Structure 1
Amino acid sequence: MPGTEVTALAAQEPFGDLTWVPSDYRRPIRRFVEAGALAWVRGLDQQDPDTYDWVTTLELCSLVTGQASRWRNRGSRRPLQAVITWENLADQPLYRVPPYKQAMNSCRDADLLLCMVNAAREHLLVNNFDDERIRVVKPGVDTRVFSPAGRPAAEPRVVFTSPLAPNKGIDRVLDAMRIVRRSVPDATLVVAGQGPLRPMVERAAADSGRGVSLSGQLDADGVADLLRSAAVFCTAPRPTWKWTEQLGLAYLEAQACGLPVVTTRCGTNDEAVLPPNVLVDDDAEALAEGLVTFLTNDRLRADVGAANRARMLADHDLTTQCQRIGDAFAATEAQHHR
């Protein structure tokens, strides 16, 4: 969509060529905030709907989505509305809670429902959304930043780059590495991320016999460098009462760097992690078996890594996927003759 101008209401200045309107969120409570769901963005009411062609928000159950639905109806031109969704739970419990249910129902007449995973489309159909308004465009990763190393990793290093929270399973990965080191004594684990389980990782890193190190929070270039130094990528997500893994951008970054992936089967992460990468049950022994398989087979590791890189270039290149998103917006505009 050449010539597109974007205005973003956000607390921090977003990256890219756009107009930033500094804005925070009005949160009635400090706890139980899922992706900003129970919050309203400040400053939207000061924007004139008639000066915009689109209003776009994230997730059906976000109260900002309901706020945007009401806001666009104030204008005489009535901007088109897009809702981007990753949600893969057709029976998402939040949809039964009145504020979230109202937000979801407010966007039933949204002009574009842009799904980041196939499962998001299925969840919309189960909830009786119009299939003609749904488009699926998988997320992209910068394949220039996330690119393979010039030569394969020389050491049996496993890397974990995800939030250090129970639902991402760093505890299970630590347990699996204890088992791995029985067969591969020089295997190591490098952990990058922040979260409530950081003290657990710090204790493991303080034990010289565990082979664990903590890199902390890294920017994109730092994550890419870390991935290139590793042999295998590993996480171990597990569902919560209101969440399952939807795709996992960390998987895409690792595969773009030419790494094989070992992870637990959770939600719809099988859309990101395809065979012969390894998805196992939530079990430390099973994770360890998958890790040992890749750490001890250089040829297999190289072949799977090369296949992963090729698939990321074909299906998840950031520039290509952004173009596909633009095509989805443009097709919707054409339907409305704008």
Structure 2
Amino acid sequence: MSPGSDDVRRMLWVSLPDQRARRELYWMSRMPGTRVRAMARQEPVGEVDWIPSTYRRPIKRFVEAGALAWVRGLDEQDPLAHDWVASLELCSLVTGQASAWRRAARAAGSARPLQAVVTWENLPDQPLYRIPPYRQALNSCRDADLLLCMVDAAKDHLLANGFDEELIRVVKPGVDTALFHPAQEPTQEPVVVFASPLAENKGIDRVLQAMRIVRRSIPEARLRVAGRGPLEHLVRAEAEDPRNGVELMGTLDAAGVAEVMRSAAVFTTAPRATWKWTEQLGLAYLEALASGLAIVTTRCGTNDEAVHPPNHLVEDSAEALAEGILHHLADPVRRAEVGVANRRHALTHHDLATQCVAMGAAFSEVEALHRSR
């Protein structure tokens, strides 16, 4: 297989119904020499040809390891117009659809499209795989051409589930290091920022508990919370009394998150595992690294792939979280050194443009394998 006649890789991306912006689809669109068309409910960010799409959903909620939803209209797309079909997660039902669509094209004698599946999954024994629709989707992409892993643990998960190592590539995600950059002068104010969904699995309740402990030693310490979610009422109640030092920022765009990061001294979150999810990498960590912030978070899943010493990975307790936050707030000189090291790490390992080039190289390697056969 070779890219299209105009030497542009033509990709059809099949989105989950609630797929978040500026993530996987955006990264695909940033790969050199790639033109992406996306079937999606909402208009994508970036240079993407949008196919407005609707979904059939038995239940209206997002499941972390895959969405129980089918996109309408995939069978109307011309396989010969695309070199690749790509989607997110092995057990998402749109991935199962993409597999069937690609398989039908090959049965009709077409070598195109190839199939790529992007995965973050880090649970070798993902319980969703026991549920028939998800298991069928998983098994349907065992003959995918590329399994693109966003974390090292995802490769381990694939190997544990019997996938061919030759088809696996690991490319860590990137962050816009021009948008997310340190403040010109690091703040001397004891400001802590939480920028994640306000949900139990991200631990905003634990962060609020920890900040009460922090304020016993540093009464002027403040917490800025960016996000929305089911636990928003807890933050709102805390923010109603100005003596608590909590500010609810609401939903912010990328520029707003970058600005609030630059206003802070420490980034914190407190993820905890659910029955079907554990922290994988956490893009907010990468944004904090690029912003030159010290990070304090609970140890969960494989977030150690993003958070390295001298940042703090602590046990899931308010006391341990508070101790880590106090360690950084109390020592501005050391905190600044940590920030410089974090910025350097982000530039070296998670620069968006660099990582998108690396993702494109993974696709090119697989294309070369097919040309040689």
- In the TM superposition, 1:219-258 aligns within 5 A as 219-258=253-292
Give 2:104's match in structure 1, choosing from 74, 80, 86: 74
| Partner AA of 1:238 in structure 2 | R
- Provide the secondary structure at the position in 1 that maps to 2:336: helix
Deviations 1:249-300 (A, max 9, x none): 0000011000010000000000000011000000000000000010010111
Tell me if 1:17 matches 2:51: no
- Provide the secondary structure at the position in 1 that maps to 2:307: coil
- Provide the secondary structure at the position in 2 that maps to 1:336: helix
Q: Identity of paired residues, percent?
A: 69
Residue-pair matches, total: 338
CA distance in 2, matches of 1:272, 1:84: 18
Q: Which residue of 1 aligns with 2:195?
A: 161
Tell me if 1:300 matches 2:330: no
Q: Which residue of 1 aligns with 2:85?
A: 55
CA distance in 2, matches of 1:22, 1:32: 19
- In the TM superposition, 1:189-338 aligns within 5 A as 189-337=223-371
Describe the shift of the 1:32–1:228 C-alpha distance in structure 2 as closer, same or farther (beyond 3 A): closer
Contact (CA 8 Å) 2:64, 2:276: kept in 1 or not? no
Contact (CA 8 Å) 2:91, 2:129: kept in 1 or not? yes
Structure 1 residue runs of 4 or more that deviate by more than 4 Å after TM superposition: none
Deviations 1:134-159 (A, max 9, x none): 00000000000000000011210000
Contact (CA 8 Å) 2:65, 2:121: kept in 1 or not? no
| Partner AA of 2:72 in structure 1 | R
Q: Which residue of 1 aligns with 2:35?
A: 5
CA distance in 2, matches of 1:249, 1:152: 22
Q: Offset at 1:5?
A: 1.9
267-276 or 27-36, which deviates more = 27-36
TM-score (normalizing by structure 2): 0.89
CA distance in 2, matches of 1:95, 1:36: 10
Tell me if 1:133 matches 2:167: yes
Contact (CA 8 Å) 1:194, 1:216: kept in 2 or not? yes
Tell me if 1:28 matches 2:62: no
Q: Which runs of 5+ in 1 are unaligned?
A: none
CA distance in 1, matches of 2:70, 2:277: 22
Q: Offset at 1:24?
A: 2.1
| Partner AA of 1:204 in structure 2 | E
| Partner AA of 1:290 in structure 2 | G
Contact (CA 8 Å) 2:120, 2:154: kept in 1 or not? yes
- In the TM superposition, 1:35-54 aligns within 5 A as 37-54=67-84
CA distance in 2, matches of 1:228, 1:29: 39
Give 2:137's match in structure 1, choosing from 88, 103, 117: 103
- Provide the secondary structure at the position in 2 that maps to 1:310: helix
| Partner AA of 1:122 in structure 2 | D
Tell me if 1:143 matches 2:173: no
Deviations 1:41-97 (A, max 9, x none): 112111011221100010001011110000012223241000000000000000011
Tell me if 1:188 matches 2:218: no
CA distance in 1, matches of 2:64, 2:148: 20
Deviations 1:151-191 (A, max 9, x none): 01121000000000000000000000000011111100000
Contact (CA 8 Å) 1:49, 1:74: kept in 2 or not? no
Give 1:174's match in structure 2, choosing from 191, 208, 214: 208
TM-score (normalizing by structure 1): 0.98
Q: Which residue of 1 aligns with 2:146?
A: 112
Contact (CA 8 Å) 1:262, 1:279: kept in 2 or not? yes
Q: Which runs of 5+ in 2 are unaligned?
A: 1-8, 10-31
CA distance in 1, matches of 2:51, 2:306: 34
Contact (CA 8 Å) 2:65, 2:91: kept in 1 or not? no
CA distance in 1, matches of 2:61, 2:266: 36
Tell me if 1:86 matches 2:120: yes
Contact (CA 8 Å) 2:54, 2:71: kept in 1 or not? yes
Describe the shift of the 1:230–1:139 C-alpha distance in structure 2 as closer, same or farther (beyond 3 A): same
Deviations 1:229-251 (A, max 9, x none): 00000000000000000000000
Deviations 1:8-49 (A, max 9, x none): 001111122221100022112224644652111112111011
| Partner AA of 1:12 in structure 2 | Q
Q: Offset at 1:301?
A: 0.3
Q: Offset at 1:208?
A: 2.2
